[in-house]
């Protein structure tokens, strides 16, 4: 039984001390370097607490920094150098990200595809869609159909250009990687590119990387019982590379299949081989994460990055955040197709975002092409479907220090939804629109 009941966060808030937070952090660091011994993480946590109790006066509440210092010290003293290094690197990265946010006007983020952004911003400004005020005015003038058509055409042109570039490298490219953060519209984009390529005699053959998850008992989880599937280390990267190498050489391989009900992987279950006109397709969050395809030469890969890169300012002059658009998309999709409570999507989002910022978004620099999947009109649909939820969450999480992240996101989105004009009827959305991936009613066949 530890003497600590609370911990002081960086913002000064006092929250309950939970040993599981420490063991989860240690386990995540271990997973990052290939370790999956949960009991060892718990034993090391007990050592961390002993070191804290010895270092701090009785009755003193530890700070987050003091706990992290104790974790580093314990890992090094107990001989876990690789885990300590992973933990220190992650801690340093989080510190750097906080520092960047403080000085973001001085140091432009490297996580933004600036050239593509200028293209999207130029398009938005030329169509009076670069501010909520301008957008609302166009809706008030009865221009919904024009807005829809203009937005869909902009997206479709990106699709055509990407397919054209893949086609030009026919024979050389053996793997197409379609990557991007959660709810960017990868499934719809994949189908559309595949349809164009099929007209040229090129077939995309999907390798479903979801079948490469490690068994559930090896996944990190938090004190709320929430598993983290968002990290690339949740996947067996070595096996993915091994199978890809065989496929690119023209060999038949036996790929695994993952049983999500039992949380276990069945090995060597599905035979797979590609023909001379086939290209392996990997539609995955972590497709551009270098270790995912480390054994395959770059010239054999075409790397595509996707994100809703909306360029629209609210009435306070702030750009609407892409992560907020994707959060609303995922809420609707999870609720409609996975029977998942939108509130759980909100409270889980910090895992999604942390993994994106570490393992997905920075890798856009490796992409051969970038697609913008944002539709300005989608915000009006989300207002009708979701605003009641956000109004409720702002109230219930306002003073909850354990749900600070959920509150900040809910409050920020609530402000945008308060400003945007609503659209109660979504029948105007084309049946093959990327937005149908999230609101339902698509004419495309999702698998």
Q: What is the DSSP string of 375-411?
A: -TTHHHHHHHHHHHHHHHHHHHHTT-GGGHHHHHHHH
Q: How far apart are CA 48 and CA 37, in angstroms?
A: 17
What's residue 351's pLDDT?
81
Tokens representing residue 167 in the block = 């086609």
pTM above 0.75, yes or no: yes
Q: How far apart are CA 291 and CA 34, in angstroms?
A: 13
Q: What is the DSSP secondary-structure string of 15-50?
A: EE--HHHHHHHHHHHHHHTT---HHHHHHHHHHHHH
Task: Please enumerate in sequence order all residues whose Cβ is within 8 A of that of 288, keeping only pairs 6 or more positions apart, or say none.
Answer: 177, 179, 303, 305, 360, 363, 364, 366, 367
Beta carbons of 276 and 202 less than 8 angstroms apart: no
Extract the residue ranges of the chain whose pLDDT is less than 70: 1-2, 11, 93-94, 96-109, 220-229, 447
Q: How far lies 190's CA from each of 138, 175, 273, 289, 420, in Å?
A: 31, 13, 20, 18, 30
64-77 helix and 38-55 helix, angle to the nearest 10 degrees: 120
What's residue 224's pLDDT?
58
Tokens representing residue 343 in the block = 């509130």
Q: How far lies 98's CA from each of 10, 51, 102, 193, in Å?
A: 11, 27, 6, 38
What's residue 128's pLDDT?
96
From the number of C-beta atoms within 10 Å of its C-beta (0-12, 13-18, 19+), residue 260 rates as: exposed
What's residue 227's pLDDT?
67
Tokens representing residue 366 in the block = 């490796």
Q: How far apart are CA 137 and CA 132, in angstroms?
A: 8
Q: Where are the alpha helices (DSSP H) in 169-252?
A: 186-198, 237-248
Tell me the domain boundaries of the chain.
6-102, 114-439
Task: Give residue 65's region: left, alpha or beta (phi > 0; psi -120 to 50).
Answer: alpha
What's residue 118's pLDDT?
93
What's residue 106's pLDDT?
45
Beta carbons of 413 and 328 less than 8 angstroms apart: yes
Beta carbons of 130 and 312 less than 8 angstroms apart: yes
What's residue 188's pLDDT?
96
What's residue 218's pLDDT?
75
- Domain 114-439, what architecture? 3-Layer(aba) Sandwich (3.40)
């Amino acid at each position: 039984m530890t003497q600590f009941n609370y911990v002081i966060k960086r913002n000064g808030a006092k929250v309950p001390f939970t040993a599981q937070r420490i063991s989860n952090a240690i386990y995540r660091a271990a997973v990052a370097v290939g370790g999956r011994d949960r009991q060892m993480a718990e034993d090391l946590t007990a050592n961390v607490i002993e070191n804290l109790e010895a270092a701090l006066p009785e009755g003193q509440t530890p700070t987050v920094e003091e706990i992290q210092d104790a974790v580093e010290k314990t890992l090094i003293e107990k001989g876990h150098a690789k885990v300590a290094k992973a933990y220190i690197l992650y801690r340093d990265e989080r510190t750097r990200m906080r520092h960047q946010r403080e000085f973001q006007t001085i140091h432009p983020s490297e996580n933004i595809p600036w050239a593509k952004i200028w293209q999207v911003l130029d398009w938005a400004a030329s169509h009076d869609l670069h501010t909520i005020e301008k957008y609302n005015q166009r809706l008030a003038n009865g221009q919904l159909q024009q807005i829809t058509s203009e937005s869909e055409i902009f997206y479709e042109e990106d699709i055509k250009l990407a397919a054209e570039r893949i086609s030009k490298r026919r024979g050389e490219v053996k793997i197409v990687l379609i990557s991007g953060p959660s709810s960017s519209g990868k499934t719809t984009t994949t189908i559309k590119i595949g349809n164009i390529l099929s007209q040229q005699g090129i077939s995309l053959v999907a390798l479903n990387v979801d079948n490469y998850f490690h068994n559930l008992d090896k996944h990190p989880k938090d004190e709320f019982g929430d598993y983290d599937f968002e990290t690339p280390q949740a996947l067996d990267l070595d096996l993915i590379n091994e199978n890809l190498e065989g496929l690119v050489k023209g060999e038949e391989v036996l790929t695994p299949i993952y049983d999500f009900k039992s949380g276990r992987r069945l090995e060597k279950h599905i035979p797979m081989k590609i023909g001379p006109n086939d290209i392996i397709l990997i539609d995955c969050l972590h497709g551009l994460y270098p270790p995912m395809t480390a054994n395959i030469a770059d010239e054999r890969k075409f790397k595509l990055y996707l994100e809703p890169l909306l360029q629209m300012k609210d009435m306070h002059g702030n750009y609407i955040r892409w992560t907020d658009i994707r959060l609303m998309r995922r809420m609707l999709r999870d609720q409609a197709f996975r029977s998942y409570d939108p509130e759980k999507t909100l409270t889980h989002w910090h895992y999604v975002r942390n993994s994106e910022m570490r393992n997905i978004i920075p890798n856009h620099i490796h992409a051969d092409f970038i697609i913008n999947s944002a539709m300005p009109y989608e915000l009006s649909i989300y207002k009708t479907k979701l605003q009641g939820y956000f109004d409720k969450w702002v109230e219930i999480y306002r003073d909850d220090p354990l749900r600070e992240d959920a509150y900040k996101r809910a409050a920020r989105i609530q402000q945008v939804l308060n400003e945007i004009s609503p659209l109660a009827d979504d029948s105007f959305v084309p049946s093959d629109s990327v937005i149908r991936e999230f609101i339902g009613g698509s004419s495309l066949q999702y698998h």
